[in-house]
Homo-oligomer: A and B are copies of this chain.
Amino acid sequence: MEIKKLLEEKSKKAWEIYIPGLSIDCAVFGFQDGALKVLLLKVKGQDLWGLPGGYIKKEEALKEAASRILKDRTGANDIYLQQFRVFGELNRSEGFFTEYEDTLWHKQRFISVGFYALVDYSKVQLKIDDLSNACEWVSIDALPAFMMDHRIIFDRALLTLRKQLNYKPIGYNLLPEVFTMPELQRLYEIILGKKLNRGNFYRKMTGYAILDKLDESRKGGAHKSPNLYRFNLEKYNLALKNGLKEGW
């Protein structure tokens, strides 16, 4: 079906099913081969990319809606998902469907709730829908042009992630179950966009007391075999809830 007809049909259904005027946009992060990636969609008939998103059903809690939207897109249930900001500027979503009737759902003013998600890359099965012709992981170092204000939403999500490194643990949903300290440090460096001192990182991270050191170390390689760690989930989740023990 051509995109115009498809949109008009979707519009009719949307007015029935969803709360008008309110949308959800998701910045979904995954970590692969030492690179932080974000999940992007390409909308049919456009050269721009966008964050996956959707709407809230009339009888659905906000958080349920975000989970449903991400499950439809990634097949994954066990996603770390947090709202981080509402985007409520004028003209953030208006003026993009000028060739359509004014009653088109997608042409209305939307205030959007931004969620960010951290997912285990290996557990995700990306799905395109009938409005998009691509759904891909894109490295945050090589972002394409975004539609609407999605670049602003993405930037804010990354900034949130960056700030939260100072008071929340991170990594459980991004790294494999077992990892080395340099691998964990690499994740922090990628999010922060800067190199960290190895000794300081080690001291600070062990000070948080959220890691269990394994008895075995990784074999192979010319150098000393590096120690292996895993997150202590109980302590990790406590720190997620109460903050890392650096506070007042």
Contacts and interface: CB of A to CB of B under 8 A. Distances in A.
A90 B56 contact: no
A86 B62 contact: yes
A199 B138 CA distance: 48
Contact of A56 (B83, B111, B188, B196): B111
A129 interface: no
A248 B86 contact: no
A63 B83 contact: no
B60 A248 contact: no
**Count of chain copies:** 2
A22 B113 CA distance: 12
A219 B181 CA distance: 54
Contact of A192 (B87, B111, B167, B248): B248
A225 B209 CA distance: 42
Contact of A246 (B56, B90, B166): B166
B62 A89 contact: yes
B90 A60 contact: yes
Contact of A21 (B20, B83, B86): B20
A3 interface: no
Interface string A182-196: 000000100010001
Contact of A83 (B85, B90, B204, B248): B85
Interface in A78-115: 83, 85-90, 109, 111, 113
A192 B248 CA distance: 8
A113 B86 contact: yes
B88 A56 contact: yes
